[in-house]
Amino acid sequence: MTQAAEKHDDPPQTVDLAEEYRASGVAEVLDELDRELVGLKPVKQRIREIAALLIVERARQTMGLTHETPTLHMSFTGNPGTGKTTVAMRMANILHRLGYIRKGHLVSVTRDDLVGQYIGHTAPKTKEVLKKAMGGVLFIDEAYYLYRPDNERDYGQEAIEILLQVMENNREDLVVILAGYADRMDKFFESNPGFRSRIAHHIDFPDYGDDELLNIAETMLEAQNYHLDPQARDVMANYIELRRVQPHFANARSIRNALDRARLRQANRIFSTSKGPVTAEDLSTIRAEDISVSRVFTMGVPDSSKGC
């Protein structure tokens, strides 16, 4: 082997981390996450920290330093509608861009996708899901439903044992993210310590504040070429304040549902009152009356999935 070849094989003495970061495209993914999701500063900061760790680990490998693929399995805890699935999708993209998973796709499942209803049914179902997820991220929503100790005929434990084995033996080709309510996830980890020992990153997703939810509402409408007039904006702010203390509130998910109903009312208002041509502004404006008829404003009437 020539001296030139030997020098070529030597690991680099320095690595430009800023250039590694730029070239990976991770900044683009993080910027997209900022645009997609309002608020969630602690979550976004944690994702940036994980990205920094992975870039440094990749640099260490390039320089020939002792290297072991970091454990990347995660737990996302928080109430519904706080962006857990969206962040999981972006996390899959980051891991793929940095070379930690082959494909970068996200497979999202619940208990029903993993657990069978009779003997011999669970293992094939779980293994089929894992096969689809290999090379990417497996996102298990409401993961605590896998464990039902009160039902001796439940087959969730079989799925758990298969998952634990794959999480340990295939951690260089699969990242598993468990998600759900924080208190239930704590109990789940207490009952299944094997999961806790395999989870490297626990990320809590806080509820949105009133101003953040109003921002989310306006962002959702803007994406569909709608907007609130000034009076409607005030009514929407009041709606959010009332709605979030009522049952079954699901953060951004509840806001999306409310806007769907407001658009329905707007369409019926325009259709029933217009006596001639309508303008693009007419078709794009949500008025106060499209929101104020919600049952959320009716004193003493709890909110429900039907009438808010």
Output the pLDDT for position 305. 45
Q: Are 109 and 138 in contact (CB under 8 A)?
A: yes
Output the pLDDT for position 64. 80
Residue 84 token pair: 């857990």
Helix (H) / strand (E) containing 177: strand 175-180
| Measured distance between the N- and C-terminal CA atoms of the chain, rounded to whole angstroms | 76
* Beta-bridge partner residues of 74: 177, 201
Output the pLDDT for position 9. 67
Q: Are 213 and 255 in contact (CB under 8 A)?
A: yes
Output the pLDDT for position 45. 93
pLDDT in tens, the chain (308 residues): 444 444 456 777 788 888 888 888 888 999 988 888 899 999 999 999 999 988 888 888 888 886 677 889 999 999 999 999 999 999 999 999 988 999 989 999 999 999 988 888 899 999 999 999 999 999 999 999 998 877 767 888 899 999 999 999 998 899 999 999 999 999 999 988 889 889 999 999 999 999 999 999 999 999 999 999 999 999 999 999 999 998 889 999 999 999 999 999 999 999 999 888 999 999 999 999 999 999 999 854 444 444 45
For 146, other C-beta atoms within 10 Å of its C-beta total 24
Ordered domains of the chain (ranges, CATH)? 3-205 (3.40.50.300), 210-297 (1.10.8.60)
Selection from 86, 108, 77, 109 nearest residue 29 by Cα: 86
Q: Classify residue 137 as left (phi > 0), alpha (psi -120 to 50) or beta.
A: beta
Half-sphere exposure in the Cβ direction for 293 (13 Å, CA): 11
Half-sphere exposure in the Cβ direction for 268 (13 Å, CA): 9
How many angstroms separate the CA atoms of 186 and 75, rounded? 10
